[in-house]
């Protein structure tokens, strides 16, 4: 919650947003409150101000409270603390009487009361005569004064006494010495500075002012009591030691009134046109088939110039004529918790395989009978109210004496809890031995139906069903067989769900124009009664047809699906285009228009919205002959129906449309014509208005007056201390005697199931824990082994590194030797080149010498010497 403290002074709490004219310390926002409150609309749950309002003039005070109202959320709480004029006046009269009788004690009290009455209003300087009185060392009636002004006043006395000599004397005017304008300016500035009281309030005048500024449920409180949660802990009016900070105060609280929602639902009408206030109740506004049907009636009635207002427990739209109903914060009771536990463990987890459609416990209920808009309604219109209204709260609505119409969108209202009976006829008698619950030892379904019989039988309820099938079920039911029963089909927006040329619609979805397109759709394709398994069987039969199978292979057949598809859908050999959840009606109309046929294989159904939407877009519907489908689907006129669960027959119908595009076109035109003429919102609204007017014409005049008298004597919604947006009502948790007698046993069983489940979970967790501990041990051993291997690897790495380092040194030496050898080689090569050059020179020299005459002569001489030498030897 968000709290706002205005004019907080030095008394504030850090959990609050604190505002004052001057910020004296951290945590206080400085702002001139005469200029408004510096926050957005509906920003706070609680607004509090103490001894602030009296410092504004009457006009300024009204504006200030209007600002408080603005920043509060709907049902926000305001706490106002002001000096109590009534208390002061009573004490003044008492003191006057006692002092006149000679009581010296009361003479002093009389003097103080006069100061309370006049000094804070008439003073011309800070503190006034009151400060001078409190600064006196010997206050003759100090205990009386402290009792009046409390702990804060006691602290003020201690503060003022040392400063007595510094207090300003009363401001006076001497015509001979003082300037009149200057004195008047001083007085005016002081009086406009905010210290003096501009007005005083008693409980009557303050209540009138709060009422004028939009507050209601006015309540006078004690200092230590409040509807603000945990108010005492904040220490704003009562100190931690229990002393009241300002005991001379009037403490009041009030609630920000919620605007009457009929103003939102107001529709201007022509003169002489009768308009009704029609109050619609549905658990949800626009999510789900029943919700959409209820919301369409709501909008249709508004289009018919009627005042329609819708109350819901879950709101998803932004429609201002739809009001969210909630319980008070922290209002959850043991019965409510028990009911939730029962729903989960005795019902949801105890279902047979006959059906997985919702089966709901009818308690608790939200009691809206005391809501102003409900009391002002001409007609109360119930729709799908499971988990919102209980038999008890429906009875309380009936006790208002207004015509009450209950439009049924499934069977829950007259069964022992199931929303569709799955072929069971137990609702016609007692719902004994419910086949949808595995174990019903305590006869819960039977007890629920008996509760409904005890509470709802004999109430002046008019039952409306959208289909003749559901009407027949109601007529056979043990609960409603004696009620007035009418059949009024659902309507749809025929101006939105319009035919679009199929080629264009297919192209927008990326489908070729000549592709045979089947469409299916459901909020939950896995719900058994939706019949998707039977449809899959039918499509499997279709695939046995040679031409159909060939078209599938050539991608000339596609299956479109919107919503939540069946899990087995992708097991087909037919290409599936899943469009998911479609939230736009215009887009949905495009999807319907793109299809050649809409396959609706429901095994149980009322009057499906999808059937009407598809036909309004000119797309034929085929399915099984169940529920409300025969009301609209006529053989070879608007579609085709086959016997229940006859998948082969359904396949043959699909193939007939596959083989005849002309049939698709002709029947599509018939569908559109039928929907325009009989199922528009206006047609539906007029049918309901005719019923409402008939009920009002036969209404017993006294019943409503009696109900108003009864309600006026009951507690109003003033107990609502919540501040969130919406309508807040009490939760009715009282069970009827039948279900109440077995509730504890059923709950005990459900809790035992929950306990058993929890124990199993604990066992599984312990086993898992043991496995994890074992795994951790194994991992630790593995870590140890890996650590050893890592150490060995490290040693090996170091050895290898040494070898590498040594090799690196050897390589460096070899490189150095090679470098030196290379240098020597180069030197040798250089020398060889030099020698070769010298040799060449010498060779050239020799050759030159040999070619000379001298050399030739020498050579002859050598030859002669050798010859002579040989001769001597001989």
Of the candidate ranges 302-311, 577-586, 616-625, the one whose mean pLDDT is the lowest:
577-586
Q: Is the pLDDT of residue 732 over 80?
A: no
Residue predicted with more confidence, 681 or 318? 681
Per-residue pLDDT tens digits for 384-394: 999 999 999 99
- Residue 733 tokens read as 């948790």
Reduce the DSSP state of residue 43 to 3 states and report it: coil
The answer to which of 132-136, 227-231, 431-435, 685-689 has the lowest mean pLDDT is 132-136
Listed residues 732, 747, 763: the one ending a domain: 732
Cα 591 to the center of its chain, rounded Å: 29
- The CA-atom distances, in angstroms, between 229 and each of 1, 3, 143 are 9, 11, 33
Question: Does residue 516 share a domain with residue 632?
Answer: yes
Pairing of strands 597-600, 621-624: parallel
pLDDT on residue 723:
32
What the block records as the tokens of 266 is 């107001």
The pLDDT assigned to 610 comes to 95
Q: In the chain, what percentage of residues exceed pLDDT 90? A: 56
pLDDT given for residue 866 in this prediction: 73
Q: Are residues 614 and 514 in the same domain?
A: yes
Q: pLDDT tier at 708 (50, 70, 90 boundaries)? A: very low
The CATH number covering residue 249 comes to: 3.40.50.150
Which three-class secondary structure state does DSSP give residue 73? strand
Longest CA span, the chain:
199
Element (H, E) at 308: strand 307-314
Q: Cα(269)–Cα(247) distance, rounded to whole angstroms?
A: 56
* Confidence at residue 704, expressed as pLDDT on a 0 to 100 scale: 42
Q: At what angle do helices 142-160 and 128-135 cross, to 10 degrees?
A: 90
Mean pLDDT, the chain, integer: 86
Sheet of 621-624: strand order equals 576-580, 557-563, 516-522, 597-600, 621-624, 639-642
pLDDT tens for each residue of 178-222: 788 887 888 888 888 888 899 999 999 999 999 999 898 899 999
Is a pLDDT exceeding 80 seen at residue 328?
A: no
Across 609-623, 763-777, 830-844, the highest mean pLDDT is recorded for 609-623
Mean of pLDDT values over 739-745: 67
Which of 5-9, 594-598, 706-710, 739-743 comes out lowest in average pLDDT? 706-710
- Between the alpha carbon of residue 479 and those of residues 47, 57, 389, 482, 608, the distances in Å are 50, 64, 17, 8, 24
**Do 804 and 756 reside in the same domain of the chain?**
yes
Is 603 found in the same domain as 566?
Answer: yes
Judged on CB neighbours under 10 Å (0-12, 13-18, 19+), 184 is: exposed
The total number of structural domains in the chain stands at 5
- Residue 309: pLDDT above 90? yes
Q: How high is the pLDDT of residue 512?
A: 94
Neighbours of 865 (CB within 10 A): 10
Same domain, 511 and 561: yes
Residue 638: inside a domain: yes
CA atoms of 426 and 397, how far apart (whole Å): 28
801 vs 474, higher pLDDT = 474
196: in domain? no
Instruction: List pLDDT tens digits, range 520-537.
Output: 987 787 899 999 889 999
Q: Angle 167-171-176 (CA atoms, 0-180°, nearest 5)?
A: 135
DSSP state, residue 330: T
- CA gap 567, 580 in Å, rounded: 13
d(CA 506, CA 184): 86
Domain harbouring 299, CATH code: 3.40.50
Residues 708 and 771 in one domain: no
Report yes or no on 509 lying in a domain: yes
Residues in the chain: 874
Q: Per residue in 779-835, pLDDT tens?
A: 888 888 878 887 887 887 778 778 877 777 777 777 787 777 778 777 777 877 777
Question: In angstroms, rounded to a whole number, what is the distance separating the alpha carbons of residues 684 and 252?
Answer: 50
Beta strands in 746-856 (DSSP E): none
Residue 265 falls within a domain, yes or no? no
Query: Is the pLDDT assigned to residue 258 strictly greater than 80?
Result: no
Q: Which of 157, 191, 225 is the last residue of a domain?
A: 191
If asked whether residues 669 and 705 sit together in one domain, one would say: no
φ, ψ for residue 323 (rounded to 5)? -110, 130
Q: Is 296 a residue whose pLDDT tops 90?
A: yes
* Lowest-confidence region among 141-155, 158-172, 670-684, 758-772: 158-172
Domain match, 69 and 105 both:
no
Give 300's pLDDT tier (boundaries 50, 70, 90): very high
Q: Are residues 724 and 743 in the same domain?
A: no
CB atoms < 10 A from the CB of 54, how many? Answer: 18
How sure is the predictor about 552, in pLDDT bands with cuts at 50, 70 and 90?
A: very high
Say if 597 falls within a structural domain: yes
Is the residue at 272 inside a domain? Answer: no
Identify whether residues 245 and 297 lie together within a single domain: no
Same domain, 543 and 672: yes
**Parent domain of 519:** 502-679
pLDDT tens digits for 165-181? Answer: 777 666 666 777 778 88
Q: Is the pLDDT of residue 330 over 60?
A: no
269 pLDDT higher than 60: no
Residue 281 lies in a domain: yes
Give the pLDDT confidence of 560-616 residue by residue, as tens digits.
Answer: 999 877 667 777 788 888 888 898 999 999 999 999 999 999 999 999 999 999 999
Distance CA 544, CA 534 (A): 16
What integer pLDDT is reported at residue 711 of this predicted model? Answer: 42
- At 703, is the pLDDT very low, low, confident or very high (cuts 50, 70, 90)? very low
Residues 717 and 600 reside in one and the same domain: no
**What average pLDDT does range 66-94 have in this prediction?**
93
At residue 747, the pLDDT reads 66
From residue 220, give the alpha-carbon distance in Å to each of 202, 359, 364, 695. Answer: 11, 47, 33, 44
Contact, 467 vs 475, CB < 8 A? Answer: no
Output the pLDDT for position 284: 96
Could you tell me if residue 263 is inside a domain? Answer: no
Is 0.75 surpassed by the pTM of this model?
no
pLDDT digits (tens, 9 = 90+) for 239-256: 888 889 999 999 999 998
Q: Find the CATH number of the domain harbouring 550.
A: 3.40.50.2000
């Amino acid at each position: 919650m968000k709290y706002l403290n205005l004019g907080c002074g030095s008394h504030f709490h850090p959990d609050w947003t604190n505002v004052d004219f001057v910020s004296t310390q951290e945590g206080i926002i400085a702002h001139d409150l005469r200029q408004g409150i510096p926050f957005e609309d509906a920003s706070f749950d609680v607004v509090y101000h103490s001894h602030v309002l009296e410092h504004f003039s009457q006009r300024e005070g009204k504006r200030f409270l209007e600002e408080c109202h603005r920043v509060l959320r709907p049902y926000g709480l305001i706490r106002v603390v002001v000096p109590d004029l009534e208390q002061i006046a009573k004490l003044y009269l008492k003191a006057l009487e006692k002092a006149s009788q000679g009581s010296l004690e009361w003479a002093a009290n009389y003097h103080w009361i006069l100061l309370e009455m006049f000094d804070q209003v008439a003073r011309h300087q800070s503190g006034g005569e009151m400060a001078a009185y409190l600064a006196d060392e010997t206050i003759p009636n100090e205990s009386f004064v402290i009792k009046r002004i409390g702990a804060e006043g006691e602290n003020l006395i201690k503060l003022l006494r040392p400063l007595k000599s510094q207090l300003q004397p009363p401001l006076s005017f001497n015509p001979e010495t003082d300037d009149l304008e200057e004195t008047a300016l001083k007085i005016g500035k002081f009086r406009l500075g905010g210290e003096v009281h501009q007005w005083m309030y008693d409980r009557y005048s303050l209540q009138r002012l709060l009422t004028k500024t939009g507050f209601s449920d006015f309540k006078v409180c004690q200092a230590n009591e409040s509807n603000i949660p945990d108010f005492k802990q904040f220490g704003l009016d009562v100190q931690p030691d229990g002393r009241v900070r300002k005991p001379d105060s009037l403490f009041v609280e009030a609630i920000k009134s919620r605007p009457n929602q009929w103003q939102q639902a107001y529709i201007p009408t022509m003169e002489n046109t009768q308009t009704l206030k029609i109050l619609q109740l549905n658990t949800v506004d626009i999510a789900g088939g029943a919700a959409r049907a209820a919301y369409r009636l709501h909008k249709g009635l508004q289009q018919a110039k009627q005042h329609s207002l819708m109350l819901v427990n879950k709101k998803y739209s932004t429609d201002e004529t739809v009001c969210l109903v909630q319980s008070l914060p922290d209002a959850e009771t043991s019965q409510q918790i028990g009911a939730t536990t029962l729903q989960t463990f005795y019902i949801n987890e105890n279902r047979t395989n006959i059906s997985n459609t919702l089966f709901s416990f009818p308690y608790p209920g939200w009691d809206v009978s005391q809501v102003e808009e409900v009391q002002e309604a001409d007609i109360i219109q119930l729709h799908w109210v499971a988990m919102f209204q209980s038999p008890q709260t429906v009875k309380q609505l009936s006790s208002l004496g207004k015509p009450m119409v209950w439009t049924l969108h499934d069977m829950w209202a007259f069964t022992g809890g199931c929303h569709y009976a799955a072929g069971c006829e137990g609702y016609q008698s007692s719902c004994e031995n419910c086949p949808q619950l595995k174990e019903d030892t305590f006869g819960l379904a039977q007890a629920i139906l008996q509760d409904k019989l005890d509470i709802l039988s004999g109430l002046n309820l008019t039952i409306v069903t959208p289909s003749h099938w559901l009407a027949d079920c109601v007529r056979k039911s043990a609960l409603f067989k004696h009620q007035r029963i009418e059949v009024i089909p659902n309507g749809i927006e025929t101006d939105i769900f319009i035919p679009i040329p199929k080629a264009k619609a297919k192209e927008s979805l990326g489908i070729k124009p000549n592709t045979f397109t089947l469409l299916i759709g459901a909020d939950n394709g896995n719900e058994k009664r939706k019949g998707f398994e039977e449809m899959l069987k039918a499509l499997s039969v279709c695939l046995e047809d040679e031409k159909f199978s060939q078209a599938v292979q050539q991608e000339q057949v596609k299956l479109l699906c919107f919503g939540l598809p069946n899990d087995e859908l992708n097991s087909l050999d037919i290409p599936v285009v899943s469009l998911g959840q479609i939230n736009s009606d215009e887009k949905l109309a495009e999807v319907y228009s793109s299809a050649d046929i809409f396959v609706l294989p429901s095994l149980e159904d009322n009057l499906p919205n999808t059937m009407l939407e598809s036909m309004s877009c000119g797309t034929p519907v085929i399915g099984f002959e169940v529920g409300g489908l025969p009301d609209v689907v006529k053989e070879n006129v608007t579609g085709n129906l086959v016997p229940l669960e006859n998948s082969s027959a359904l396949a043959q119908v699909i193939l007939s449309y596959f083989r005849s595009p002309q049939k698709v076109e002709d029947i599509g035109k018939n569908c559109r014509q039928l929907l325009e003429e009989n199922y528009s919102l206006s047609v539906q609204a007029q049918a309901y208005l005719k019923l409402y007017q008939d009920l009002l014409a036969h209404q017993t005049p006294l019943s409503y007056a009696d109900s108003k008298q009864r309600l006026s004597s009951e507690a109003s919604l003033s107990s609502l201390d919540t501040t969130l947006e919406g309508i807040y009502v009490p939760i009715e948790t009282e069970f009827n005697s039948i279900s109440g007698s077995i509730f504890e046993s059923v709950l005990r069983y459900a809790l035992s199931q929950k306990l058993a489940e929890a124990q199993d979970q604990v066992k599984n967790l312990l086993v898992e824990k043991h496995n994890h501990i074992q795994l951790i041990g194994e991992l630790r051993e593995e870590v140890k082994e890996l650590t050893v291997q890592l150490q060995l690897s490290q040693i090996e790495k170091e050895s290898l590194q040494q070898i590498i380092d040594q090799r690196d040194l050897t390589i460096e030496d070899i490189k150095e030797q090679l470098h030196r050898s290379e240098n020597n080689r180069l030197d040798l090569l250089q020398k060889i080149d030099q020698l070769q050059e010298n040799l060449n020179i010498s060779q050239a020299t020799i050759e030159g010498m040999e070619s000379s005459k001298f050399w030739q002569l020498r050579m002859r001489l050598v030859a002669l010497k050798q010859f002579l030498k040989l001769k001597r030897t001989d």
